[in-house]
């Protein structure tokens, strides 16, 4: 398949969490054109049913692919990936990279053999997480906790709002208070929003612990799948697309710009900044 140099990489999430995936990808491929799509009209995904997500995500990605003609799509959302990735791959004729919980590296790094999986409610209950834990952490105690509040904390942080430290404490307590939680030494950040508040989580931890997520691995996968393809000679302004006229978008503008996303567009109507 012939790929035009200006064909973008499409990153997709319900909100700003996928920026934690975009950052290492842009570091690896600095000249890559980027479209970052946030489904603000459907946010948050973590509290939705599997059926809702399985229907919504492929349909929306199909519209985005038709509009932007990307060379590759990245579902930069653990919830959407664990539920809808097979449906999306069946619907699209371009490579699709999903985001999976970094359970394998956590199991490799844990000295105590107790680690936590911190995600959304929808992600931590998925059979896919069961399979990863059984395959890579069979000799470990794998604790799980879902936190919708931590997703909102990450969004608030990127809007520049004052953060409540109790939210990070409560999210960790959901793991630490389980049997064996006092021995937990690693936490899988199984929601792409959560690396954005890793600093807050580390500050809330009662003892030193490591945090792992899949951003670097996804960047390597994107680089592998696009190896040999042409790119523009210089970086171009990235596009941040939203599916609703959310009142918070204006407050996100400085943070989006720091990730190279300086054009704001909407699925129904578009405008430039």
The DSSP string of 90-154 is HH-SS-EE-----HHHHHHH-SSSEEEEEE-HHHHT-HHHHHHHHHH-TTSEEEEEE-HHHHHHH
DSSP run (H or E) holding 189: strand 186-189
Tokens of 267: 């699925």
Q: Is 140 a catalytic residue?
A: no
For residue 240, give the nearest of 230, 255, 229 by alpha carbon. Answer: 255
- Exactly one of 21, 80, 191, 212 is catalytic; name it: 191
Tokens of 166: 């109790």
- Exactly one of 77, 84, 117, 190 is catalytic; name it: 77
Q: Is 191 a catalytic residue?
A: yes
Residue 198, number of CB atoms within 10 A of its CB = 17
The catalytic residue positions are 77, 191
């Amino acid at each position: 398949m012939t790929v035009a140099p200006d064909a973008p990489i499409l990153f997709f999430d319900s909100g700003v969490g996928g920026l934690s995936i975009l950052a290492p990808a842009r570091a690896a491929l600095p000249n890559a054109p980027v479209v970052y799509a946030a489904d603000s009209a459907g946010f948050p995904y973590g509290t939705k049913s599997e059926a809702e997500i399985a229907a919504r995500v492929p349909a929306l990605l199909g519209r985005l692919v038709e509009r932007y003609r990307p060379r590759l799509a990245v579902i930069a959302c653990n919830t959407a990936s664990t539920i809808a990735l097979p449906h999306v791959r069946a619907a699209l004729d371009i490579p699709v990279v999903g985001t999976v919980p970094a359970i394998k590296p956590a199991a490799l790094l844990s000295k105590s053999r107790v680690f936590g999986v911190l995600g959304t409610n929808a992600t931590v209950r998925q059979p896919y997480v069961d399979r990863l834990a059984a395959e890579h952490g069979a000799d470990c105690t794998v604790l799980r906790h879902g936190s919708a509040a931590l997703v909102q904390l990450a969004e608030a942080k990127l809007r520049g709002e004052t953060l409540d430290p109790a939210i990070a404490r409560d999210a960790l307590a959901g793991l630490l208070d389980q049997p064996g939680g006092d021995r937990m030494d690693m936490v899988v950040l199984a929601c792409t929003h959560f690396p954005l508040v890793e600093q807050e989580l580390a500050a809330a931890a009662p003892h030193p612990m490591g945090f792992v997520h899949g951003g670097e691995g996804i960047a390597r996968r994107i680089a592998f799948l696009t190896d040999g393809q042409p790119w523009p000679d210089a970086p171009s302004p990235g596009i941040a697309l939203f599916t609703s006229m959310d009142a918070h978008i204006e407050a996100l503008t400085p943070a989006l710009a720091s990730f190279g996303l300086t054009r704001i567009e909407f699925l129904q109507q578009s405008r430039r900044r």
